[in-house]
Amino acid sequence: MAHPTQLGFQDAASPIMEELLHFHDHALMIVFLISTFVLYIIIAMVTTKLTNSYILDSQEIEIIWTVLPAIILILIALPSLRILYLMDEINNPHLTVKAVGHQWYWSYEYTDYKDLAFDSYMIPTQDLAPGQFRLLEADHRMVVPVESPVRMLITADDVLHSWAVPSLGIKMDAVPGRLNQAALVASRPGVFYGQCSEICGANHSFMPIVVEAVPLQHFESWSSLMLEDS
C-alpha cells in the first residue's frame, strides 16, 4: 500500500513486479548516464570552446554517436522483451478467475467452481471501519492462494475498463466482447489494492480492486464458506 510522501513504487508482491522494478532501475541508470554525459558536453562547449574542427568534422565522433545509441537501445529492448513474454506465460495455472468490469463495480467468477461468483462494490466513506482506506475498500475481496499461479480472464460488460493492481505488476484492459488473459502470482500474503485505470465514466474513480492473498488452507475455507452462502 502506498503511503504519503512515498518515493518510488510500492513494494513488489509478485515475481513479475520484482522484474519490473529491476528493469525500471536498469533503464533509469541508463537515462542518468546519458543525461550526465550530455550535460558535461554542454558545459564543456560553453566553458572551454569545445566546438573545434575536430569535434565538428571528426569521422570517429560520427561513428560513436551512431553506434552508441543503437547499443543503448539493445540494452533496453532485450530485458523489456523478456519481461513482456514472461507476463504472457501462464503454465499450469492452479486457479482461473474471471473479472468483469461494470459501470461502476467489478464482478468475479471462479470458473473452477460451479457457483462461486460475486460482485465487488466500493464501501462508501460513511460506512468505512477504522483503518480502512477511503475509495479503495470493497465489500467483497478477490481472494487467491499465495504462491499459486492464477489465470486472470478480464473483460467488460458495457464500456472499456482496466483491471490494475500495482503491487502485483498487473494491468490489463477490460474490453466488451473480448477476453484478455493475464498471469497473477502473489509471492506473499497480504491485501493489495488497485483501481480501474481506464476512464470509464462518471464514477470511474469509485470501482476499486482489492486482492487478498492467503495461504492455501485459508483459501479453501473461504471458498467452502462462499459456496455454502451462494
Q: Three-state DSSP class for 15?
A: helix
pLDDT beneath 70, residues of the chain: 1-2, 49-58, 230
Is 169 buried (19+), middle (13-18) or exposed (0-12) by CB count in 10 A?
A: buried
* DSSP of 20-86: HHHHHHHHHHHHHHHHHHHHHHHHHHHHH----HHHHH-HHHHHHHHHHHHHHHHHHHHHHHHHHHH
What confidence score (pLDDT) does residue 128 get? 92
From the centroid of its chain, how far is CA 157? 22
Q: What is the pTM of this model?
A: 0.84
What confidence score (pLDDT) does residue 177 get? 93
Residue found by looking up cell 565522433 in the block: 61
What confidence score (pLDDT) does residue 41 get? 79
What confidence score (pLDDT) does residue 115 get? 82
CA-based R_g, the chain, Å: 24
C-alpha cell at 152: 486472470
What confidence score (pLDDT) does residue 8 get? 80
